[in-house]
Amino acid sequence: MTTQTPGTTPAEVSDFYDVYNSLLRKYWDDNFHFGYWQDEADDSSIAVATDRFTDIMISKLPVGPGARVLDVGCGIGKPALRLAQQTGATVVGISINQQQIDEGNARAVAEGLADRVSFQQANALELPFEDGSFDAVLAFESICHMPRLPALKEMSRVLVPGGRIALTDLIKIEDPDGTAAAAGFQSQALVRYSDYPALTAAAGVEIDELIDVSAHTKRTYAAMAEGISRGTDEIVEKFGPGVVNVLQAVAAPLGPAASVGCLIMAGHRAA
């Protein structure tokens, strides 16, 4: 659970996003996370479904004006800005990828939130913050790129005792070993829902809620495939033959999509 899967060092993940940032923005959304659909009948757009998931995560972080929140693996900042807008909290977002940080800071200025929201390049495994610096931590679909235990320990370290943590993770819902990687997402080997209690306990985090939301996120793969099929020619033209690997990577979860699920963990740092 704590080993670094080949291809997933922080530098490799950053290189991956150098290519992926613009693809995701064009053929997915500025939210770099799964969509959340209410039920089979819900045919919300990707933009609506991904913002809905952000709102669910915000509801797991009961923070208000004056609270300091760290967003670990912030993407281009859309969730952090929404969190700050809705709650009045001060948010610091970190990502290993510099392009994302530049984009996030530009968006904070554009949205008039730069006084409360800032982004900086940092490795989640070596957070450049003192112990107990934050009231809450959000890690929205980012821990899947990291060796989970050291990452969770770092998040716990920078929280005040009792401070809240809310994260999502990709989970393997069928493979009995839980060892298959989420091919294409530069992800660590997936864990299972049932691995989470031991993982969080080892990191000094007490679980308040552990929710399997796989049934709500599964439409993500079909929606993503649709976007890619619309853009394939343009993507290949723009990025050249090397992009085939990226496309394959994106498409890879389509087959086993039913077995790649998602969980929400909300908890707090043990006092």
Q: How many CB atoms lie within 10 A of CB 57?
A: 23
Per CB under 6 A, does 21 bind ligand SAH? no
Member of 35, 73, 204, 267 binding ligand SAH (CB under 6 A): 73
Closest CA to 31 of 41, 12, 15, 44: 44
Give the burial class of 37: count Cβ atoms within 10 A of its Cβ; 0-12 exposed, 13-18 middle, 19 or more buried: buried
Q: Indicate the angle between helix axes 46-59 and 78-87, nearest 10 degrees.
A: 50
Q: Which is nearer to ligand SAH, 90 or 97 (CB)?
A: 97
- Please select the residue that binds ligand SAH; options are 23, 27, 31, 263, rule is CB under 6 A: 31
CA distance 128 to 149: 18
The answer to whether residue 37 forms part of the interface with ligand SAH (CB under 6 A) is: no
Binding mask 103-132 for ligand SAH (x = CB under 6 A): --------------------xxx-------
Choose, by CB under 6 A, the member of 23, 46, 70, 74 that binds ligand SAH.
74
Q: Can residue 97 be called a binding residue for ligand SAH (CB under 6 A)?
A: yes
- The single residue among 96, 167, 189, 205 that binds ligand SAH, judged by CB under 6 A, is 96
Q: Which stretch binds ligand SAH (CB under 6 A): 10-18, 108-116, 224-232, 257-265?
A: 10-18
CB nearer to ligand SAH: pick between 119 and 193 = 119
Residues between 138 and 167 with contacts to ligand SAH, criterion CB under 6 A: 140-142, 145-146
Indicate whether 217 belongs to the interface with ligand SAH (CB under 6 A). Answer: no
Query: Interacting stretch for ligand SAH, rule CB under 6 A, among 27-35, 112-120, 213-221, 240-248?
Result: 27-35
- Confirm or reject binding of residue 33 to ligand SAH (CB under 6 A): yes
249 contributes a contact to ligand SAH by CB under 6 A = no
Min separation Cβ 255 and ligand SAH, Å: 22
Smallest separation, CB 233 to ligand SAH (Å) = 26
Contact (Cβ atoms closer than 8 angstroms) between residue 170 and residue 261: yes
Question: Nearest approach, Cβ of 5 to ligand SAH (angstroms)?
Answer: 12
| Residue ranges in contact with ligand SAH by CB under 6 A | 10, 13, 17, 31-33, 73-75, 78-79, 94-97, 100, 123-125, 140-142, 145-146
